[in-house]
Chain A
Amino acid sequence: MPTDPLSSPGTSSSLALRGLSVDVPDGWEVRIRQSNDQEADGLRFPVLHASTQPLPTERADYGGGVVERLGRDSVFISLVEFGPEAVGSNLYPPVEEVPRVEPSKFHPFQLQRRIPGQAGSQTFFTLAGRAFCLYVVIGSFARRAGLASLANELLARVKIDPGP
């Protein structure tokens, strides 16, 4: 799997940027970019977006521009990195692999922005010396069991390496 987008550009469905990589399964769209938010020292951390429906070019870090159009059978995933001050803190406990989501963790109140029918899940963790928020939105709270499994298919293919 390439660790840099220019190491093997446009030649496989494995995407990578700044130590965040994913082997994209069929039926998913993925984009990795720098965060919209800039840290005090000018750094921009990477943000990975994945969805089972088209990802527009303009998106907020937590899915603004995508979730408004999320279908009932669709999933949106955002993996947002935070700065070194968050690494290992109580809110970001260390884990061994990218966490999976559980149907019971989804709730409409977990959404950044309430949209009728949808539900969200937020998980904070530290992996490979880096702190992340995993935010997952499903198009239907009633279908959370199947949609959580769908989200986990993608999450199982996400790899986080130590930062550059």
Chain B
Amino acid sequence: MTAVYAIVIVLALVVILMAMLIAGLLRSHAEILRKLEALGMGADDHDHRGSLSITAKPDRKPPSSLPGISGVDPDGQPVTLSPTLGSHSALIAFLSTSCSSCTVFWENLDQPEMVFGGRTHRVIVATMGPNDESPTRAASLRRGKADVVMSTQAWEDYEVPGAPYFVVADPADGILGEGSADTFQALVGFLEDSLNDRRWDEATAARPPGGDREDRIDRELRAAGLEPNDERLHHKAGDFNDA
């Protein structure tokens, strides 16, 4: 009988321990979800564009006036990059080695050229200079073959308010847009939307004014058996008698 009581007590203790363990796991899970939510990566955050504010400034600078990004790489080697050289648009990601919301961008911007919206972009990661940021930390955060330049001057030239901050510069059109994004999906969404809008704009600009309306009129006339140059469409003297 005593043995049975002992087994019951042991089982009760095991159940209590399991309950405490599960409660602890649930609490840490909730804590993780809360932190993800704060980073804009919550499980229910389907509309990633909601946290984005990248826009072109009205006083957009021409490409020739955009300053180069001049500083050193995390290995201390001097470098000057020009975001408007070449044939690709450049995504300049102003990141800090100390901001937690930059982590996701450090991890994802891992190549000097990346495809967004079906088009190749040059990717330049710019931190502040080695007097304001830790070069060794920048080196450890750099992923893959990412092109990282440490330049306080670039932050001043591009009037960066804080990290993370993004500038999209185009060799032909200068700065297409700039602003902040707190998730990588939001950034990708902006770049894709920006490209699609440019294609739409180019297609619209290539179409003659009123082209849609004229096409519709021609289609309707043909359906009625009238070609665009049909004589019946043109008035002749005496067609109308105002008398």
Contact = CB atoms under 8 A, between A and B. Distances in A.
A24 B80 contact: yes
B122 interface: yes
A9 interface: yes
Given A9-B150, A13-B68, A52 B78 contact: no
Contacts of B76: 5-6
Nearest to B87: A71
A14 B71 CA distance: 9
Contacts of B145: 57-58
Interface in B73-130: 73, 75-82, 85-86, 112, 122, 128-130
Interface string A7-29: 00111111111000000101111
Contact of B152 (A11, A17, A52): A11
B153 A11 contact: yes
B64 interface: yes
A13 B80 CA distance: 7
A30 B129 contact: no
Contacts of B82: 26-29, 54
B86 A5 contact: no
Interface residues of B, number: 31
A9 B129 contact: yes
A24 B71 CA distance: 12
Interface string B146-173: 0101111110000000000000000000
Q: How many residues of A sit at the interface, in one of the four size bands?
A: 20 to 34
A29 B77 contact: no
Give chain A's interface secondary structure class: loop
A56 B75 CA distance: 15
A53 interface: yes
Nearest to B70: A13
B90 to A, nearest CB: 8
Contact of A54 (B71, B85, B129, B152): B85
Contacts of A56: 112
Interface string A50-66: 00111111100000000
B72 interface: yes
B131 interface: yes
B80 A57 contact: no
Contacts of B131: 9-10
Contact of A57 (B130, B147, B150): B147
B64 A26 contact: yes
Contact of A17 (B68, B78, B86, B149): B78
Given A10-B151, A11-B129, A29-B81, 9 more contacts: A9-B72, A10-B71, A24-B70, A28-B82, A29-B85, A30-B78, A32-B77, A54-B85, A54-B86
14 contacts: A9-B130, A9-B131, A10-B71, A10-B153, A11-B151, A13-B70, A15-B79, A29-B79, A29-B80, A33-B77, A53-B85, A54-B82, A54-B85, A54-B122
Interface of A: 5-6, 9-17, 24, 26-34, 52-58
Interface of B: 64, 67-68, 70-73, 75-82, 85-86, 112, 122, 128-131, 145, 147, 149-154
